[in-house]
């Protein structure tokens, strides 16, 4: 795999290692830790504790940092996941919302505070329909949902 030029870094207070293990379990299929660094005597973390882990989910690299309580996640940055079908939407929604918070329009905040968009592959195409009436119906349907329902979105598109 070619080296990824830009890697998103996720700042955790102290549970980055636990979060990475959770994400590896959720996404499976080749998800892996690529590298890790541990704090030394120089600190500021406990010597030997995890500083960073670089990990891969679905071929995309991320870095998790145990950076302390200085910063927290917010919805200004989210991770959008392309889902092939309703089964994948349902599985990821359940795994990522467990201990977290279900949000509107396919968004979920996981138990670590990271925001995810669980997006059915059909949604962008349905919303981009050149017929503004169809696109509007899909948007209106989406605004009534937390977890996105592909069939309901298709039905809205069709005017059913």
pLDDT tens digit at each of 160 positions of the chain: 567 899 999 999 999 999 999 999 999 999 999 999 999 999 888 899 999 999 999 999 999 999 988 888 999 999 999 999 999 999 999 999 999 999 999 999 999 999 999 999 999 999 999 999 999 999 999 999 999 999 999 999 999 8
Q: What sign results for the dihedral spanned by CA atoms 42, 48, 49, 53?
A: positive
129 contacts 135 by C-beta, under 8 angstroms: yes
Looking at residue 2, its pLDDT comes to 61
Looking at residue 3, its pLDDT comes to 79
Looking at residue 137, its pLDDT comes to 98
Q: What is the Cα Rg of the chain in Å?
A: 18
Looking at residue 120, its pLDDT comes to 97
Looking at residue 64, its pLDDT comes to 98
pTM (2 decimals)?
A: 0.92
16 contacts 24 by C-beta, under 8 angstroms: no
Q: How far is CA 82 from CA 88, 116, 123, 141, in A?
A: 9, 11, 10, 19
Residue 62 three-state SS? strand
Residues whose CB falls within 8 Å of the CB of residue 18, separated by 6 or more in sequence, listed in order = 112
Looking at residue 1, its pLDDT comes to 52
At 102, list the tokens. Answer: 């279900």
Residue 15 CA to residue 11 CA, distance in Å, equals 10
């Amino acid at each position: 795999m070619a080296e990824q030029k830009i890697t998103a870094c996720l700042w955790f207070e102290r549970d980055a290692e636990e979060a990475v293990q959770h994400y590896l379990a959720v996404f499976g299929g080749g998800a892996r830790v690529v590298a890790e660094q541990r704090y030394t005597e120089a600190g500021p973390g406990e010597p030997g504790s995890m500083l960073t882990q670089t990990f891969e989910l679905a071929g995309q690299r991320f870095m998790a940092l145990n950076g302390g309580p200085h910063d927290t996640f917010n919805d200004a940055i989210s991770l959008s996941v392309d889902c092939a079908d309703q089964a994948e939407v349902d599985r990821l929604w359940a795994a990522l919302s467990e201990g977290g918070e279900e949000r509107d329009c396919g968004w979920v905040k996981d138990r670590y505070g990271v925001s995810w968009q669980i997006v059915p592959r059909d949604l962008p195409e349905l919303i981009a329909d050149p017929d503004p009436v169809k696109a509007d119906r899909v948007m209106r349907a989406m605004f009534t949902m937390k977890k996105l329902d592909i069939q309901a979105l298709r039905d809205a598109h069709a005017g059913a």
